[in-house]
Structures are given as C-alpha cells and as structure tokens.
Chains A and B, each alone.
Chain A
C-alpha cells in the first residue's frame, strides 16, 4: 500500500532538505548554526538508540559511553595536532604539564594519524559495545536487567574517566576549540560551517544505512526479537549475534555522533557520560517515535532546539517541560509523535473534537471473500 504514494514526494523532500542545509549557514547566525550542527549530530546517536531499543527492544541507558569514546578519539587527535598548545610542553598536549607527565601515554600514540582517528572514532565504541553486548546477550540478559547493566557500565566509565587526570585530563576534559584541523582553527566560523555540512551529510548516510538494515528480513528479525524472542529461537535463529551486531552498530553511531558533537561544542569531558544525558537520549527517541528512524532523529533535533530556546526565555522551566513530555509519551503517545501520526492519531483527534471524518471501508472485507465459502 505504501507504493501508491506519489514518487515525487520523497524527491521533493530531498531537494528541499538539501537546499535548506546548503543555505542555512547564510540564513542563521554562526551561533545558531553551531547549535543546529550539534543537535544534528545528536540525531545520529538517537538513530542508534532507535535501532537497539525501538527495533530490537533493548533499552540501553549507557549510550553515553560510546558517545564519549568517539568524542575522546576526535579530541585526542586534535590535541596532538595543536602546535601552538603543545609547543610549551615539549610536543605534548598542554594539560600533561599540569600533572608533570613527560611521556605521552601509549594509547595516545596512534592518534597522531588522522586515518587511524577516523576509524577509531566509530570502531572503538563499536568494539566496546560489541564485547559488552556479547557477554550480556549470550547470558540471555534482557529487559530491565539489560537497562540496569548498561547504566552501571556508564557509571563505571564515568568514574574512571573522571579520575584519570594523567591520562586524559580527568574531569576537565579535552578542549578542541583552539586546535587546528586542515590548517584551520576548529572553533572558527568557517570550520564550524564545514562541520555543520559534514554532520548533515553523515546524519543522512547514517539514516540511509539504518533504513536499509531495517527494511529487509534483517529488520524483520529484529522486530521478531523484540516481540517474541522465544518464538524466533524455535524457527532456528540465534538472537545473540543479531543483538550483538545491532548494539555494536548503535555504539559505532554513538561514537560518530560524539566526535561530531565534540568538535562543534569545543570540548569533550566525562560529563558526556553523566547518567542524565544518556537518559535524555532515550527521551528524544521516545518522544519522536520508537521504531521509526526519522522520528528518533526529529526527536533529538526538535527537543534540543526547544531546550535551548526555552532555556533562553525561561531558564528554570525546561526540566518540567522535558518531564512532562516524557510522561505524555509514557501514558498516551506510546509510539511517540511519529508513531501517533502513522497510526492515524490526527484523524482520531479530529473525531474526538467533534469533526467526525468519513470512515473508509474496512479493506480486509473486500479481500476476504475467498474464506467466506468455507464456514
């Protein structure tokens, strides 16, 4: 039935979207553009959460781990290539001087290479997620126990990173604003504009990848795991590799998201692994719509934009609004806004307001004639 929609619709949407993304830097101030870029990068982590939670039914409260790992990867590369800040400390990033560190820690070494960094940004979080996931899923841990485990892992990473001044500047995090990338200051307007475009491109690619995955039988298997895992086992499927793969993929997406967020916000710190942030990520997806992909992205984008606008006007109110949104989704809009839309929510709302729309014929009635003869 979906095929009857006119072909030009997605094309038009794509053209408008592309024009908007290209034109946006000249339409809004660099400050707003930077915020938009950050939120767009958060849409990528939301995509991963939608895959693991919306499609596969595993609620991860620890995506901050992978998000931060990606961010640290990018920041370490930039710090190493920051000639002005490292000259003082004998080739080492400046902060090492504060703690009397003379030798670059071993795991920093490969981050001299831009190619290694580009791979590590997504591969390291994906491998960490894959290992964690494999151990958890192999032991058939799911449901709320999985959520608690991911939250606990988040706290472990948070505390560990906070305590490692001599390795990664602990609580203070790593700054990227004053570093250089391809000869330009990362914090400069021109660089931030390029990063905005890069984020938009990667968000699009991430969405295409996820859509491709969930459309075919692989995606159907994920839904089957979510809805009735025991049944799927009896069909001959082992859910563990599916879950591990999706969790690793969500981790990799979180890493890319974290790296993009870091270079646009100018710093990565263990605060990326604070528990409330990972829970917020889940709220974006829940409000936008689980299992819809673009609902998750829109949720991340819109909620964060609303957050910054509301906080500018009424600084104290945002948390109440966010809490209210979450309650609304939990109690009435279980499919999120996009889910509500797809299930015919607007029509029902109109009907409830007294504008009863015409009922269309129940489609199955017309097709069911063959079965009638047998009863």
Chain B
C-alpha cells in the first residue's frame, strides 16, 4: 500500500557505525500513519540498532530520523517516548520486583514526573485501560503477582501490554513472539493487527509463520540496508532474499 499522507516515521540516509563497523548503511525507510510493517533480516542485519536509532539510544553519524515531521535527532529517550514512540524490547524487560498491575500503572501514568506520580491516584480512565489490558494480555488472575514470577511468554505479553497501555502513536515491537506457544503467537498476531489503523506498528520478528499471519508489508534488512520491500509472497520469492535469509532458514511449516 503506498502511503497517502506524509509518512509518520521516516529514516533518511541513516548511518551508524560502531568502531568502524557499519551497523546501518544509508538506511532509508518510510512508515505511513496506521501502517503495520514487519521487518525481517538475518542476525546482525541491524534490526535492533535500527530501533535504537529511532528511540534515541544510538545517535546516527549521518542521516535524519523524522517522526510526525519532527526530527528525533538530539532528543533523549524519554522525550522521544513522550512524543509517542513506544518500544518493546527483544528479551522481555519488565520490572520484576513490581507486580503486573504496578508495571502497567507505571506505563500508563501521565505526566511521568515525580510530582505527577506523587499525586497518588490514577484516573478512572487509566484504571479502565489497565483493567482492559490485563484482560487482553490474559494476565488478570496474576495482576498482583510479582512480574518476576511470570513465565517467559507472560513477560512478553506483559511488556506488550505496557507498550499498548502507553497509547503511543508508533509501536516498535522487537521479537514479540520469541518463546511463545503457537496459540499465544496467534493471539499476539491478532492483537497487533487489531492495533494497526489506530496505531502505527513496526514489528521485528524471526518467526516467518507469524509474519505471514500479519498479512502485511515486509521490509528485509541485510547488512544495515534495506534489501527489498513488499508483501510476504513477493519477498519470499525474491532471489536476493532467498539467498541471504530464507534460503538458510529452512522453513518447514509452510
């Protein structure tokens, strides 16, 4: 689908190098508002660095990152997050000493300042959102348990829940289904699909079955560059992709 309006997120000519190693090489990518985009690529393709650039953790040596028409360069992580960019990390990173509900409450709070938190109570709408999300991520019975006691898959979902409850415009989702069962993977795909439209979602994943289920446009990264873009079928038959990625991947379940 070509984007009708101006892109929500735009990376133009982004270069990132770590001690001379080019993790991202002249990377160009555009995301339209409301789009659901999958990004795949072999290990070391620069997928996580690409997210680090958007969220402000890594500063590119060249190029620009624009979100809603504003450049994100020179902004801190928390400023970018407040502009409406949410991120789920590759291995689930939840606050293990806090309960499930407390994790979600930290994510939903606004304003995210000391005084904002000391004004003790969440609004009814915020409580409602937490309650709703607990149902969506299937953790309502565990709401008061420490997040550290959850299984790997439940932590994945909790983190997705924390991401969604923030209500960001752009969701960056890094490997959401790693370690999930098939049923959970399906549910996650459905959840992300249902979010697209109102939100813009960018998913990085290795699981091809999951990507196929998303039925959306796929971008293939390879050695820090966009190798090709298109539907899953187009990408899968692209000889370059087969060579660098799928050829080595040995798909069995298709």
Contact = CB atoms under 8 A, between A and B. Distances in A.
Interface of A: 1, 213, 216-218, 220-221, 223-224, 227-228, 230-238, 241-242, 245, 364, 367-368, 370-371, 374-375
A238 B78 contact: yes
A234 B106 contact: no
B149 to A, nearest CB: 7
Given A220-B98, A231-B93, A242 B81 contact: no
24 contacts: A213-B118, A217-B106, A220-B106, A221-B106, A223-B97, A227-B95, A227-B96, A231-B89, A231-B93, A234-B78, A234-B89, A235-B81, A236-B112, A237-B78, A237-B112, A238-B76, A238-B113, A241-B113, A245-B114, A364-B145, A367-B142, A371-B154, A374-B181, A375-B183
B142 A220 contact: no
B174 to A, nearest CB: 11
Contacts of B113: 238, 241
A233 B81 contact: yes
Contact of B95 (A224, A241, A245): A224
B166 A236 contact: yes
Nearest to A369: B141
Given A238-B76, A238-B112, A245-B114, 16 more contacts: A213-B118, A218-B117, A220-B95, A221-B114, A224-B98, A230-B77, A231-B93, A233-B77, A234-B55, A234-B77, A234-B87, A235-B112, A236-B82, A238-B78, A370-B141, A375-B183
Contacts of B12: none
Contact of B118 (A218, A371, A375): A218
| Interface of chain A, main secondary structure | helix
Contacts of A237: 78, 81, 106, 112
Given A223-B98, A233-B76, A218 B114 contact: yes
B4 to A, nearest CB: 29
Nearest to B149: A364
Nearest to A291: B97
